[in-house]
Structure 1
Amino acid sequence: MTDEDKAYLRTQIAEVSLFRNFAADELERLLPYLELESYDDNTILFKEGDRGDYLCIALEGTIEIRKESISNKQTVIAKFGRGSIV
């Protein structure tokens, strides 16, 4: 992770509700455990039934939770925006 990425994450994470009351040194200790990733539109992050061993924080854009029916029709059941934890 570049120094620029770390600086970006420091400012963005400080605004997320889960971390809002963390002190600067506590946020700094989180950085080695974070990964900054970017996705194209309609990228599937995980599917129903996948093991949940990480969480995603939306720093930009929108994350949709979709449910696929037996007839392969997808329905958006939830939307999460900036600062949301999924």
Structure 2
Amino acid sequence: MTWLFEQVAFANKGDAILLIEDGVLTIDSSTTLASFAAKSQAAGIAVFALREDAIARGVGEPINGIELIDVDGFVSLVAEHDKHVAW
């Protein structure tokens, strides 16, 4: 799951990271995810996971620091941020 930490390296304060599709599977890996969430929060980077993808993959609630959002929240994130990168 080093790709999670690579995202933080490329993000700046005020950016947001959205976990989608199979990326939401990481919210079940509490040890790695707790470290990722803490590092993101310290850098001022918001982290979200798409609720519909989490439900489709049977993933439980994320740990503190990662917010589940719906498709409308996804659209809001896209509107808020002028640059978008997909991994």
TM range (shorter): under 0.3
TM-score by length of 2: 0.27
| Bigger proportion of residues as helix | 2
| Higher RCO by CA contacts (8 Å cutoff, separation 6 or greater) | 2
